[in-house]
Chains A and B, each alone.
Chain A
Amino acid sequence: NAGVTQTPKFRILKIGQSMTLQCTQDMNHNYMYWYRQDPGMGLKLIYYSVGAGITDKGEVPNGYNVSRSTTEDFPLRLELAAPSQTSVYFCASSLLGPIVKLFFGSGTQLSVL
């Protein structure tokens, strides 16, 4: 089973460029999440979705956008990339919400120079 798949694995952006981080899951999970991880800071929730067509902001949503047109896919869009968005991004999914097990992808390491 593939689980949660993220692409790309690594990316370097110039300031002001835009990009989309892709995330897809094959477990038919309703809940999907985007986190960013910075050294010594744990994981911070960017956006989450409780089902297709429904998204909501997390702790650090500024500079990001998401969409959830299907159960499987939850892309994260960065508009006008800034150095502060240099981080490792993780997508995750769960069946019934955060109280149950989250399945994480292997992450996207993004550098904005």
Chain B
Amino acid sequence: TQLLEQSPQFLSIQEGENLTVYCNSSSVFSSLQWYRQEPGEGPVLLVTVVTGGEVKKLKRLTFQFGDARKDSSLHITAAQPGDTGLYLCAGVGNQGGKLIFGQGTELSVKP
């Protein structure tokens, strides 16, 4: 069974700080996605990375896919209270192409 492990599980920081969330696996994934979920809502896709070593930027968010396509990271620069939410990584595995989710990172950014 392919698994995605996210760390940390919880993160509470002050506005303006930088942070990195990690998504790791012992398996290779053909692509990885990052979603953000707010309370009472479904996850919303932020980005998809498909090439080993790929880096994508979305304003203050930087996403990286590991060279071996087994891990990914999300870096937020100068975090703001609006970044608060649950961040989920998800990968397309080799088991019939199903999307497998990590357990999520709960981020709280305090003003």
Contacts and interface: CB of A to CB of B under 8 A. Distances in A.
B92 interface: yes
A98 to B, nearest CB: 4
Given A40-B104, A42-B103, A98 B42 contact: no
B99 interface: yes
B48 A40 contact: no
Nearest to B4: A42
Nearest to A98: B99
Given A40-B9, A40-B104, A42-B104, A105 B97 contact: no
Given A99-B92, A101-B45, A58 B98 contact: yes
Contact of A42 (B30, B33, B41, B102): B102
B42 A106 contact: yes
A93 B101 CA distance: 16
Interface of A: 4, 33, 35, 40-45, 48, 56, 58-59, 90, 92, 97-102, 104-107
6 closest A-B pairs (Cβ-Cβ)?
Answer: A104-B42, A98-B99, A42-B101, A42-B103, A43-B101, A101-B45
Interface of B: 4, 6, 9, 30-31, 33, 40-45, 48, 88, 90, 92, 96-104
